[in-house]
Chains A and B, each alone.
Chain A
Amino acid sequence: MAASLSPLIEPGFFSNLPVQTALVVGGVVAVVSGIVGTFTVMRGQSFAGHSLADIGTAGGSAAFLVGISPLFGFVAMNLMAAGVMEWIGIRRPRGRDLATGIVLGAALGLAALFLYLDSTASSTTGATINVLFGSIFTLPSSMVPVIAVFSVVAAGIVLAMYRPLILSSISSDLATAQGIPVRLVGIGYLAALAVAVSLSAVTIGAILSTALLVGPAATALRLTNRPGRAAAFAAVIGLVATWLGVLLAYDSYYWFPTTGGWPVSFFVVTLIFLMYLASQVRFRPRSGVQRRSTLTEAG
C-alpha cells in the first residue's frame, strides 16, 4: 500500500508532527469555513468576510509583536471590527458596505504599522509572511485545543441559528413578521464569521482566507438545491482541498529541493478554484434547461 502510493505521497508524510497538526487543524478549519461560508454567500456578505480577514491582520500582527499566537489577535480584532460594523449600520445593504469599508481602511493602517514593527523587531519577513499567507506547518500542536474550541463556537452559532438565518437572508421583513429577532441573528452570524475568518487566516493566511470561506460554498451552491446539503458539501470540498493542499505542499519539498517547497496556501486556493470551475462546467447545461422550462410555463 505504502509502496504503491509512494509516487503520490513522499516519505514521512503521516509520521511528521507538523504535517499531522496541519491535517487536523486544516481539516477542522476547512469544515467550519465551509459551513459558515455557505451562509456568507447566501446572505451576500462575501465582502464583509473578506474585509474581516484583512482587518484581522492588524490583530494578528499585533499579537506577533507581543509574542502571543496570532490567532488570539485575529479573533479579538475581528470581533471588535464586527461590532463596529454592526453599530455603524450593517443592516442596510448600502450602509453595510460603507461601514465595512470604513473599518477596513482604518484597520489596514494599523496592520501596516504592526507588520512594519514586526519585521524590524525580528529583522526577517517571517512575521509578515505568516500573518498574510498562513502558518499551517509552523502551528504549535498546543494550539490544537484552542482552535477546536473556536471552531465549535463558530460552527455551533451558525447551526443553532440555521432556520432563522435562512429566513432572514431571504427578507428581513418576512423574518421579523415570523417573530425572528433579525438584528440579533445578524450579530450572532457576524460573530461566527469573525471567528471563522480568524481560523482560516492562521491556517491559509489572512489574504487567502476568503478563498476557503467563499470558494467551497460557491461551488456547493451549484451542486444542490438544499441549504443543509450545500453546507455539508462546502465542508467536504474545503476539507478535500485543504488535505490535498497539505499533501502537495509536503511533496513539493521533494520536487523543488532548492526552494524548500511551495506554500500550502497556494495549493489549497488553486484546488478550490479548480473545483469551482469544474462545478460551473458540469452544471451549466442542466440549469439552462431548467430556465427554459420555467419560461415556457410562465409564457
Chain B
Amino acid sequence: MQGRAVDGSDEILAVDGVSVTLSGREILRDVTFHINAGEFTGLIGSNGAGKTTLIRVILGLITPSSGTVRVESGSRGHPLIGYVPQRITLDPDMPLRARDLVGLGIDGQRFGLPLPSATRRKQVDEMLDAVDATRFADSRVGNLSGGEQQRILIAHAIISHPRLLLLDEPLANLDIGSEQEVVDLLARIAREQRIAVLISTHDMNPLLPVMDRIVYVANGRIATGTTAEVVSSESLTKLYGVHVDVIHVHNRILVVAGRREEALQHGGSESIVELV
C-alpha cells in the first residue's frame, strides 16, 4: 500500500490502469488518477462518457477488466466510501423522515430492530445541523425539494465518517441557488472533515471555485490535473482527438469541439458545443 504521498497528505484513492469492457464495448481505457484526503475532485465529462461506470468501479460494483482500485482503509468498522447515487427518486408515499434516512447511514446495513439510543440521536442531530437540514428534519423525505433531498443524501453518506465521498451527478435537476448551496456544503465537508470528495457532473462551472483537481473523461480516457492544466485547448484536443477550443466568458468555461463529423462519432450532438 502507498501510505503517504510526498507532500505529506494522505492518499485516499488510487486508481491505476483501470480498463472496463461491458458487453463487448470498451467503456474506460487505462484510467489512472490518485486522490488525497480533503481534496475536492470534479469528475467531468458529457453524458455517456463513462463517469458513472468509473464511480461504480471505485465502489466495487463493477470489476475492471484490468487495473486496480485501492481505497485507503479507514478506522475499524466504518464503511470506507460514502455514496450518493444518481437520480434517486424519493417517493412521497414513503413514510420516512429526513432524520430517519440520515440515521440509516449509521446502521442501515444492520439486521434486527433498531433500539432507541441517545448517542445515535445526538449524532443524527449534529449531522442534520452540519448540512443545514434541521429545519426540515422531521418532514417526509419525499416531500422535500431537490436541493433539500441532496443535503439529506449527503448527510446519509458521511455520517459514518467515510474517507471518500462519491457523488454521481448530484447537481442534475437542481436550480442554480440549490446547486450553489450543495457545492458550498461539499467544499466545506472536504475541508473541515478531511474527506476526499469525488463528484461527477457534465457541467464543471459550478465547481470551478472549489475544485482542487479535475478528472476529465472523454472517449473512455481521462486527463487529470488542476483545472488550468486539464481544461486547455491543447490538453482537451489531445483527449478528444479533435480540435477543441476552450473559451473563458464571465468566469465560466465553454468547451467547443471542432469538426462536426468527428465530434458526432464520439458523443452525439452534445460534444459539438459542450458547455462543460
Alpha-carbon separation in the docked complex, A291 to B140 (Å)? 11
Which A residues lie within 8 Å of B143 (CB)?
287, 290-291, 294
- Cβ-based interface call for A13 (8 A): no
Alpha-carbon separation in the docked complex, A227 to B147 (Å)? 23
Alpha-carbon separation in the docked complex, A122 to B146 (Å)? 61
Cβ < 8 Å to B, chain A residues 277-299:
287, 290-291, 294-295, 297-298
Given A164-B109, A178-B109, A294-B145, check contact A225 B140 (CB 8 Å). Answer: yes
Q: Is there an interface contact between B97 and A176, defined as CB atoms closer than 8 Å?
A: no
By beta carbon, the residue of chain B nearest A160 is: B111
- Cβ-based interface call for A171 (8 A): yes
Which A residues lie within 8 Å of B100 (CB)?
166, 226-227
Which B residues lie within 8 Å of A174 (CB)?
83, 85, 88, 156
Task: Write the A155-176 contact mask toward B (1 if CB under 8 angstroms, else 0).
Answer: 0000111111011011101111
Which A residues lie within 8 Å of B101 (CB)?
170
Q: Is there an interface contact between B95 and A297, defined as CB atoms closer than 8 Å?
A: no
Q: Is there an interface contact between B147 and A163, defined as CB atoms closer than 8 Å?
A: no
Cβ < 8 Å to B, chain A residues 146-192:
159-164, 166-167, 169-171, 173-180
- Cβ-based interface call for A224 (8 A): yes
Given A163-B109, A170-B101, A290-B139, check contact A221 B83 (CB 8 Å). Answer: no
- Cβ-based interface call for B8 (8 A): no
Task: Write the B107-130 contact mask toward A (1 if CB under 8 angstroms, else 0).
Answer: 111111110000000000000000
Q: Is there an interface contact between A180 and B109, defined as CB atoms closer than 8 Å?
A: yes
Alpha-carbon separation in the docked complex, A227 to B148 (Å)? 20
- Cβ-based interface call for B61 (8 A): yes
By beta carbon, the residue of chain A nearest B59 is: A177
Alpha-carbon separation in the docked complex, A290 to B143 (Å)? 8
Given A174-B83, A178-B79, A225-B140, check contact A166 B96 (CB 8 Å). Answer: yes
Instruction: Give min CB distance, B113 to chain A, whole Å.
Output: 6
Alpha-carbon separation in the docked complex, A171 to B139 (Å)? 19
State which of A170, A229, A287 has its C-beta within 8 Å of the C-beta of B88: A170
Q: Which of A164, A169, A225 has the most CB atoms of chain B within a 10 A radius of its CB?
A: A225
Alpha-carbon separation in the docked complex, A291 to B143 (Å)? 7
Cβ < 8 Å to A, chain B residues 21-72:
59, 61
State which of A44, A167, A291 has its C-beta within 8 Å of the C-beta of B109: A167
Q: Is there an interface contact between A163 and B104, defined as CB atoms closer than 8 Å?
A: yes
Count A-B pairs with CB separation below 8 Å: 106
- Cβ-based interface call for B94 (8 A): yes
- Cβ-based interface call for B175 (8 A): yes
Which A residues lie within 8 Å of B111 (CB)?
160-161, 163-164
Which A residues lie within 8 Å of B97 (CB)?
225-226
By beta carbon, the residue of chain A nearest B160 is: A178
By beta carbon, the residue of chain B nearest A217 is: B95
Instruction: Give min CB distance, A93 to chain B, whole Å.
Output: 12
Alpha-carbon separation in the docked complex, A78 to B171 (Å)? 44
- Cβ-based interface call for B192 (8 A): no
Q: Is there an interface contact between A162 and B94, defined as CB atoms closer than 8 Å?
A: no
Instruction: Give min CB distance, B150 to chain A, whole Å.
Output: 12
Given A164-B109, A171-B88, A177-B83, check contact A225 B61 (CB 8 Å). Answer: no
Which A residues lie within 8 Å of B104 (CB)?
163, 166-167
Q: Is there an interface contact between A224 and B95, defined as CB atoms closer than 8 Å?
A: yes
Instruction: Give min CB distance, B51 to chain A, whole Å.
Output: 14
Instruction: Give min CB distance, B102 to chain A, whole Å.
Output: 12
- Cβ-based interface call for B273 (8 A): no
By beta carbon, the residue of chain B nearest A180 is: B109
- Cβ-based interface call for B138 (8 A): yes
State which of B83, B85, B93 has its C-beta within 8 Å of the C-beta of A41: B93
Alpha-carbon separation in the docked complex, A67 to B110 (Å)? 43
Cβ < 8 Å to A, chain B residues 225-274:
none
- Cβ-based interface call for B172 (8 A): no
Instruction: Give min CB distance, B64 to chain A, whole Å.
Output: 17
State which of A160, A163, A225, A297 has its C-beta within 8 Å of the C-beta of B138: A225
Q: Is there an interface contact between B85 and A297, defined as CB atoms closer than 8 Å?
A: no
Which B residues lie within 8 Å of A170 (CB)?
88, 90, 94, 96, 101
Which A residues lie within 8 Å of B180 (CB)?
none
Alpha-carbon separation in the docked complex, A174 to B108 (Å)? 10
Chain A to chain B: the 8 pairs with minimum beta-carbon distance, closest first: A298-B145, A177-B83, A230-B95, A173-B85, A167-B108, A179-B109, A178-B109, A225-B140
Hey, which bits of chain A sit against chain B, CB under 8 A? 41-42, 44, 159-164, 166-167, 169-171, 173-180, 220-221, 224-227, 229-230, 287, 290-291, 294-295, 297-298
- Can you show 20 pairs from A to B with CB atoms below 8 A apart? A42-B91, A159-B113, A162-B114, A163-B104, A163-B109, A163-B110, A163-B114, A164-B108, A167-B108, A176-B59, A177-B59, A179-B109, A221-B95, A224-B95, A225-B139, A294-B139, A294-B145, A297-B148, A298-B145, A298-B148
